């Protein structure tokens, strides 16, 4: 089991901060959304992963010497990312339920908004932007 978390211990060395923050907020949503039955089986594993990512984000904050205004901006972006991922989750549910182009377009547009937030975090930490392109939905 310990080797399963090796990549998480080196997550920041592989992925930009925006991606780490994104995974962090998605794990919070998973804890919020999973059923009571699933919680007993998976909550421990999710919490272990969340804890590692939380530690990595805290290490990043200490290592980058951000000014207090930048830390406030980062925390605001993290909260916005959580809200954005919650919307994305709901749009993806609609895509699965409705199977319409409109639902797919909403999910795509929300994902692009999410990427803007991730890139804002990356910029704050002076990292490269994520680029995403989608084909036209007809």
pLDDT at 120: 95
Measuring CA to CA, how many Å separate 68 from each of 14, 29, 63? 26, 27, 14
Inter-residue contact 89 to 39 (CB < 8 Å):
no
Cα four-point dihedral sign 9, 6, 13, 27:
negative
Tens place of pLDDT per residue across the chain (138 aa): 444 545 555 555 667 889 888 988 998 888 887 765 566 666 777 777 777 777 777 777 777 777 777 888 888 999 999 999 999 999 999 999 988 888 889 999 999 999 999 999 999 888 888 776 655 655
Inter-residue contact 107 to 94 (CB < 8 Å):
yes
Inter-residue contact 63 to 55 (CB < 8 Å):
no
Instruction: Quote the pTM value.
Output: 0.74
Domain boundaries, the chain: 2-124
d(CA 123, CA 128): 7
Instruction: Say which residues have a Cβ less than 8 Å from residue 12's Cβ, sequence separation at least 6.
Output: 20, 56, 59, 60
* Residue-wise burial string across 17-51, b where 16 or more C-beta atoms lie within 10 A, e elsewhere: bbbbbbbbbbbbebeeeeeeeeeeeeeeebeebbe
pLDDT at 1: 41
């Amino acid at each position: 089991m310990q080797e399963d978390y090796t990549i998480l211990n080196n997550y920041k060395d592989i992925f930009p901060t925006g991606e780490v923050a994104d995974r962090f907020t998605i794990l919070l949503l998973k804890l919020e959304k999973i059923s009571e039955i699933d919680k007993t089986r998976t909550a421990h594993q999710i919490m272990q992963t969340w804890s590692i990512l939380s530690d990595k984000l805290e290490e990043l904050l200490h290592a980058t010497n951000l000014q207090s205004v930048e830390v406030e901006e980062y925390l605001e972006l993290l909260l916005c990312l959580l809200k954005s991922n919650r919307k994305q989750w709901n749009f993806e549910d609609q895509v699965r339920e409705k199977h319409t182009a409109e639902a797919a377009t909403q999910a795509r547009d929300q994902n692009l908004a999410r990427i803007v937030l991730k890139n804002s975090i990356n910029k704050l930490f002076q990292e490269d932007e994520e680029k995403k392109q989608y084909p036209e939905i007809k």
